[in-house]
Amino acid sequence: MSANSSLDHLHLLRVELARLAQVQAGNLSDPIPHIDGWTVHSTVGHTGWVTRYVAAALAAEPDSPPSRSTIPEPPAGEEVLAWFDEGQKNLVKIVEQVAPDRLCPTFVGPRPASWWLRRLSHEASMHRWDAYSAFGSPEPIDAALARDGVDEVLDVFVPARMQLDILAGKGEMLHLHATDIDNGEWMLHLEADGVRWERGHAKGDAAARGPVSDLLLLLWSRIPPSRLEVFGDTALLDRWQAAASF
């Protein structure tokens, strides 16, 4: 199965899952610095659980999502590493065999199987970054994948899971400007009933400028605004991160 875009989500999914599978047992107890209460074990275990859930979703009927309670929880201790590796290899095998246009259940209703491929490539890259940040300086997320990840946050997660009571505005505009890619600018309009966005360049009430990987990490509350070049009413960025409990 390949994604319905020029971005090779399957290749990037393989790469990021393989990198997460390389985590060493000695790092499993290391805390994730930006997620309270999480360790490397938590991250590996969570991602291994997700691979199993999505494998079940890809086999399910569009209106019959698998019950979360039927998906096994990750084992304690270093056994989680072999458990994760088993889950990620099985998932990749299934993804390669599923027709990209087959309708499957998702948390936003029935979508083509290619929707899950895109989602998983972002899930794997973000949690790889999480895990590696606990014991070193993680490599940035692939720039093309990060640009698509910004789009995915705005298209999928903002309408489905954003806390609008925190973020709802009166038309304030937030400008995101990626410095390392072409066509890497987004204008976000914070309105009473949601966030409207488009690509483009304009002066916003607040702006964040930096590598596209950092912009994506900012939107997912992985790094603070201070890691980027920021302008204007930076309280808007703080509001975003408070509302972005995806």
Q: Residue 3 falls within a domain, yes or no?
A: no
d(CA 199, CA 202): 10
Model pLDDT, residue 168: 79
pLDDT at 81: 98
Predicted local distance difference test score (pLDDT) of residue 82: 98
Same domain, 112 and 173: no
The pTM of this model reads 0.94
DSSP 41: H
Query: Which residues, 6 or more positions from 235, have their beta carbon under 8 angstroms from its beta carbon?
Result: 206
Closest by alpha carbon to 245, among 123, 137, 139, 161?
161
CATH code where residue 217 lies: 3.30.1050.10
CA 71 – CA 98 distance, rounded (Å): 20
Q: Is residue 46 part of a domain?
A: yes
Is 116 inside a domain boundary?
yes
Give the pLDDT of residue 6: 64
CA distance 2 to 238: 37
**What is the reported pLDDT for 64?**
97
Q: Which domain holds residue 19?
A: 9-133
The CATH number of whichever domain residue 100 belongs to comes to: 1.20.120.450
Rounded to the nearest integer, the mean pLDDT of the chain is 94
Is 4 a member of any domain? Answer: no
- Structural domains of the chain, count: 2
What pLDDT is recorded for position 243?
Answer: 86
Of 186, 163, 162, 159, give the one whose Cα is nearest residue 175: 186
DSSP string, 62-79: TT-PPPGGGSPPPPSTTH
Residue 138 neighbours by CB under 8 Å, 6+ apart: 128, 129, 131, 132
Q: Could you tell me if 29 and 99 lie in one domain? A: yes
Which residue stretches of the chain have pLDDT < 50? 1-4
101 falls within a domain: yes
Question: Is the same domain home to 56 and 167?
Answer: no
Angle, CA 221 vertex, CA 9 and CA 24 arms, to 5° = 65
In a domain, 164, yes or no: yes
Q: Quick check: 31 and 134 in contact, CB under 8 A?
A: yes
User: In terms of domains, do 69 and 158 share one?
Assistant: no
In a domain, 78, yes or no: yes
CB within 8 A of 221, min separation 6: which ones?
34, 241, 244, 245
**CB-based contact 1:9 (threshold 8 Å):** no
Residues 92 and 180 in one domain: no
- In-domain check, residue 138: no
Domain boundary among 80, 103, 133: 133
